Amino acid sequence: MSDMRFGDVRSLCDMNEGVLSPLVFTDEAIYQLELDRIFGRAWVLLCPAGQIPAPGDFFNTYVGADRVIVVRQKDGSVKALLNQCRHRGNELIRQDSGNVKAITCTYHGWSWDTAGSLRSVPYEDIVFPEGFDKSAWGCVQMAQVDTYKGLVFGTWDPSAPTLIDYLGDAAWYLDTPLDRFEGGMELMGGVNKWIVKANWKIIAEQFVNDMLHPEMTHISALIASVPPGADMSNMQLPVTGRQFTSPQGHGMGLWTDGPILDLTLGERVKHYLVDDSYAAAVARVGKARADVQAAHMTLFPTGVVLFGFNHIRVIHPVSVDESEIWTWQLSPAAAPPEVKQLWAKNSQRAFGAGGLFETEDSAVWSGIQRTMKGAIGRRHPFAVQMGDRVNRGPDPDYPGRVTQRAYSEVAARGFYHRWLEMLTSENWREMDRAAQARYAEGGHQ
Ligand code: FES
Ligand SMILES: [Fe+2]
């Protein structure tokens, strides 16, 4: 492990110049710093609320490298408990999900209620003849847990801003998939999980901004998806669209036209999205959002939403060079059953563990990680400089900072700006000041 000091981190990531060292993806000390300063403080996407609908329902997940039990309370609220016994550290729950009335450790039998209060210790009056203050040994729990339009988030940091402030302008964009349909979204099935041998930021960065790669990386999947006899002249993906970036590090690229939905979700689902439900969507979320056909967004640090596909994912940073991807499929609750089924099936065919697009992306992500193993491959910096400068005036249709085309790396620079600010700031006020400075006149392009 190298001795990584904050000054060193700053020298590895210069987003004013758009220069990034490979060491940010390979250095163990940076990874440890991320666990502490990013995953120990940021609002992290935990799961869709539909994963834990009833009191006592739990979902076993990670926040950074910490195991966390997300559990529905009797009053309908949600708590997120560290999956670690306060007696001697045993994992409290090993199942992926289920329903519990109490959480009992398999080592010596200490038992907590679902709110994380220690309720019983075996032979308490014998093993603690002097008495024992059980109230001091509740489960460690996330300081704030909140839900936005059916997605559950949590932070360990009591001083973190509220979830809605943390999301900022990203919330407006998030409503596009989450609030577009009358009756809301429902969870289709459970969670799918797989491992990619790549640092978490390589994956998060693609979803924050990379609208350019599909024509190259996914050309095989796109060609394979063209129906027999279809007009191949329509294969070019649109340059039109927007890219959104925010002080909080969230970002997205979006398209409002092009063949991507025909080629991935199929005619019936596209028909439901852009014809059947369009007028109601305009009334609900406005034309700008109803017009979004395909888009992907990263909610800093590791929450991902694929618009159009109704696909949610979290990128778990299990080690410096390996990530676990966990995904969920949503569908409009009011859609006809055959549309829901097709949506889930076609979305999985594109972005499931063995999905046509997913395997192509995974090959690139793990390929990047492999090139940085060597002494020379980790020495030379990467260019993060693609332009289409952020619109200086307000965009009439889209809030926040947006480009006028889909192709840019401005949201990647926003992502790494925030990454560096979180690693090097002592508190949220410092982070906010740094973001304000880069958003001041002439800053952050
Ligand atoms: S380690 Fe859990 S009760 Fe002892
Ligand atoms: Fe991709």
108 in contact with ligand 1, CB cutoff 6 A: yes
Distances (CA, A) of 147 to 45, 152, 250, 351: 9, 4, 17, 25
Two tokens, residue 261: 């939905």
71 in contact with ligand 1, CB cutoff 6 A: no
What's the pLDDT band for 226 if we cut at 50, 70, 90? confident
User: How confident is the model over 385-432, as pLDDT tens digits?
Assistant: 998 666 656 788 999 999 888 889 999 999 999 999 999 999 999 999
Question: Global pTM?
Answer: 0.96
- Give pLDDT, residue 1: 42
d(CA 252, CA 376): 32
d(CA 1, CA 140): 29
Catalytic residue status for 210: yes
Compute the CA torsion angle 216, 221, 222, 226 (nearest 10 deg): 160
Mean pLDDT of the chain: 93
Catalytic residue status for 96: no
User: How confident is the model over 37-54, as pLDDT tens digits?
Assistant: 999 999 999 999 999 999
> What residues contact residue 395 under an 8 Å CB cut-off, 6+ apart?
242, 402, 404
User: How confident is the model over 346-357, as pLDDT tens digits?
Assistant: 999 999 999 999
> Among 113, 179, 361, 388, which one carries the catalytic annotation?
361
Taking the CA of residue 89 as reference, the ligand 1 atom at the shortest distance is 1
Taking the CA of residue 109 as reference, the ligand 1 atom at the shortest distance is 3
CA of 363 to the centre of ligand 2 (A): 10
State the ligand closest to the CA atom of 110. 1
Domain boundaries, the chain: 44-146, 169-439
111 in contact with ligand 1, CB cutoff 6 A: no
State the ligand closest to the CA atom of 202. 2
Highest mean pLDDT (candidates 70-74, 270-274, 290-294, 305-309): 70-74
Report the range of poorest mean pLDDT among 95-99, 303-307, 383-387.
383-387
User: How confident is the model over 249-290, as pLDDT tens digits?
Assistant: 999 999 887 777 878 888 899 889 888 999 999 999 999 999
Catalytic residue status for 257: no
- Give pLDDT, residue 443: 54
CA of 386 to the centre of ligand 1 (A): 53
Catalytic residue status for 417: no
State the ligand closest to the CA atom of 203. 2
CA of 294 to the centre of ligand 2 (A): 12
* DSSP line for 369-384: HHHTSSTTTTTSPEE-
CATH superfamily of 44-146: Rieske [2Fe-2S] iron-sulphur domain (2.102.10.10)
Evaluate if residue 444 carries a pLDDT over 70: no
Report the range of poorest mean pLDDT among 106-120, 224-238, 333-347.
224-238
CATH architecture of 169-439: Alpha-Beta Complex (3.90)
137 in contact with ligand 1, CB cutoff 6 A: no
d(CA 390, CA 374): 36
Determine which residue's CA is closest to atom 1 belonging to ligand 1.
Answer: 88
Catalytic residue status for 218: yes
Mean local confidence (pLDDT), 146-158: 98
User: How confident is the model over 162-208, as pLDDT tens digits?
Assistant: 999 999 999 999 999 999 999 999 999 999 999 999 999 999 999 99
Taking the CA of residue 108 as reference, the ligand 1 atom at the shortest distance is 3
Portion of the chain with pLDDT greater than 90, in percent: 81
Contact call for residues 383 and 369 (beta carbons, < 8 A): no
**Pairing mode of beta strands 97-99, 401-402:** unpaired
- Give pLDDT, residue 235: 65
What's the pLDDT band for 232 if we cut at 50, 70, 90? low
Q: Can you say whether the dihedral through the CA atoms of 230, 339, 307, 281 is positive or negative?
A: positive
Contact call for residues 360 and 218 (beta carbons, < 8 A): yes
CA of 198 to the centre of ligand 2 (A): 14
202 in contact with ligand 1, CB cutoff 6 A: no
> Among 27, 113, 179, 218, which one carries the catalytic annotation?
218
85 in contact with ligand 1, CB cutoff 6 A: yes
192 in contact with ligand 1, CB cutoff 6 A: no
